[in-house]
């Protein structure tokens, strides 16, 4: 029978990349945080991409911070990923939760970054998260279930986020789709 340390070593022998997608307010962040808090991780890094641009958003960010109850280190980085991912977290036994891809993509588009360069940044993040024993959780919104946006910027965002979601899903070991707080494992 395997000892608990050998089971832990087996659990951390290969990378685990997980995409969690679904509609807005479907419970994606809570689900991802629960996955990360259940695991025997040495370090947890929450990568927040949101920017507090008004009082309501400031309150949302404050509530998110409180929900992490001291188990997490936080990196608030709206644009400069993957460059700012701390190397000490990119190793075995750690978990990184990136919340969220739609906000990251929006921030980059608004900063004038081309869709091709955005996809290259996402690819670099995925490459960094291939470290043995590292678990990475990516949160996104599913954009293919709604109406076609009525303006070019909206369609560009929808198309780009759809492509990014496919890129991350392809690289992921697991994919979950959340509806009304209920996760369905797709991959």
DSSP state of 49: -
Among 8, 161, 182, 27, residue whose Cα is nearest residue 92: 8
Would you say 31 and 183 are in contact if contact means Cβ atoms under 8 Å apart?
Answer: yes
With helix as H, strand as E and coil as C, how does 84-125 read?
CCCHHHCCCCEEEEEECHHHHHHHHHHCCCCHHHHHHHHHHH
- Judge whether 64 counts as a catalytic residue: yes
Residue 44, number of CB atoms within 10 A of its CB:
20
Q: Active-site residue among 8, 64, 68, 158?
A: 64
The number of angstroms, rounded, from the C-alpha of 3 to the middle of its chain's C-alpha atoms is 32
Yes or no: say if 19 and 169 are a contact pair by the CB < 8 Å rule: yes
Catalytic residue numbers read 64
């Amino acid at each position: 029978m395997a000892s608990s340390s050998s089971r832990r070593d087996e659990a951390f022998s290969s990378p685990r990349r997980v995409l969690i997608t679904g509609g807005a307010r479907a419970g994606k962040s809570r689900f991802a945080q629960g996955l990360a808090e259940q695991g025997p991780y040495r370090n947890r890094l929450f990568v927040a991409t949101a920017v507090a641009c008004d009082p309501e958003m400031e309150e949302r960010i404050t509530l998110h911070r409180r929900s992490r109850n001291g188990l997490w280190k936080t990196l608030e980085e709206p644009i400069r990923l993957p460059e700012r991912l701390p190397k000490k977290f990119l190793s075995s036994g750690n978990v990184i939760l990136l919340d969220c891809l739609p906000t990251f993509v929006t921030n980059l588009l608004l900063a004038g970054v081309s869709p091709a360069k955005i996809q290259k940044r996402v690819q670099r993040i995925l490459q960094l998260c291939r470290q043995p024993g590292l678990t990475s959780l990516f949160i996104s919104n599913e954009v293919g279930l709604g109406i076609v946006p009525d303006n070019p910027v909206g369609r560009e965002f929808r198309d780009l986020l759809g492509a990014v979601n496919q890129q991350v899903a392809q690289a992921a070991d697991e994919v979950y789709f959340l509806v009304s707080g209920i996760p369905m494992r797709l991959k």
